Every structure is written in C-alpha cells, then in structure tokens.
Amino acid sequence: MEVSVKIDELEYDKLASESKVLVEKAAEAADQAYAPYSQFYVGCSVRLQNGAYVLGSNQENASFPSGLCAERVALFECAKNLENNKVTEIAVFARSTNYEVPELLVPCAACLQVISDIQTRQGSPIKIWMWTGDKKVFVADNVGQFLPFHFELIKL
C-alpha cells in the first residue's frame, strides 16, 4: 500500500488576505497560551463556514501533561454546532523560548484525530495551515495528509 502526502509550501507575503488573517489570528491566540512549564506557546484559529473565527491556545497544568493543546481547545468549542456551522480551515502557530519550533508545524496525533473526527462528522474536509511566523506557510487540504489511517467508529 502506498500512502502519499501532499503539503503545499507558500510564501506568507503572497497569501490571499483571508488566509493571512487566519494564520495571523493563530499567532495572536498564542499570546493567550498558558505554558509556564514548556515555554512552548501554541495558538490556533478556526474559520467556520459562516466566516467567523474561533481561537484557542494551549493550556498547561501543574499535573503535566493534563493540559490541552490549542487545536483541541478551539475545535471542541466549534464541535458544539457543526450541524449549522462547519469547520472549513484551521491554522496553527507556535513560538518558544526553550525549544526549536519545527518549520513544518504539524498538530500532534491527538489533535489530528480530533480534526479527523470533526471532518468525518461534518462530511467535509478541513484545510490545515501551519505557520511559525517566518516567510513560509504550509498547508494541507485535509487531515488525511497526516493521518491516513485515522480511527473511525462505523456503526453496524
């Protein structure tokens, strides 16, 4: 079996204005992160079908690792109303004072599974944008690019 991954690399300066807004909102959301233990600040912005944005940031806890990633903070908020307002795009941004942030900032496996579940529930793909604030922005058309064998409950 062959699995193909397609991730586009774009120049930030050449992004359409609506895409710039999406990734910039993710960067702004990182300012709200609570990351006193890792010093790894992650922000997420989700664009909904109606054009609204939902933001999330990672929230750590003293009983590490019981915190929550930025993507899940935002997506769980969105999941309450998927029937009326689908998730169309998600952007992830990170910065750190202690760690090197990977240029290709792929969400963790737990977040990818949540994206996959929401994509399945709403019956439409979710575009994933990844940005670290430099000149390159990466984008994948859907979560299948990272999680081709996602877990899915299929009713009998």
pLDDT score at 148: 77
Q: Does any domain span residue 60? A: yes
Contact between residue 114 and residue 97 where contact means Cβ atoms under 8 Å apart: no
- Phi, psi values for residue 97, rounded to 5°: -95, -15
Tokens in use for 96? 């750190």
- Active-site position among 2, 11, 18, 71: 71
- Determine, yes or no, domain membership for 86: yes
Q: Output the DSSP codes for 76-102.
A: HHHGGGTTTS-EEEEEEEEEESSSPPP
Looking up tokens 């300066």, which residue turns up?
13
What is the span of the domain harbouring residue 108?
A: 8-145
- Active site annotation includes 100: no
Give the pLDDT of residue 154. Answer: 66
> What's the pLDDT at 1?
59
**Per-residue pLDDT tens for 66-124?**
899 999 999 999 988 777 899 999 999 999 989 999 999 999 999 999 999 999 899 99
**Confidence category of residue 63, pLDDT binned at 50, 70, 90:** confident
Q: What values do phi and psi take at 85, rounded to 5?
A: -155, 90
- Specify if 3 maps to a domain: no
Residue 123 counted as domain residue:
yes
On average, the pLDDT of the chain sits at 92
Where does residue 27 fall: left (phi above 0), alpha (psi -120 to 50 degrees), or beta otherwise? alpha
Share of the chain above pLDDT 70, in %: 94
- How many domains does the chain divide into? 1
What is the structure's pLDDT at 82?
A: 78
Cα distance between residue 129 and residue 94, in whole Å: 12
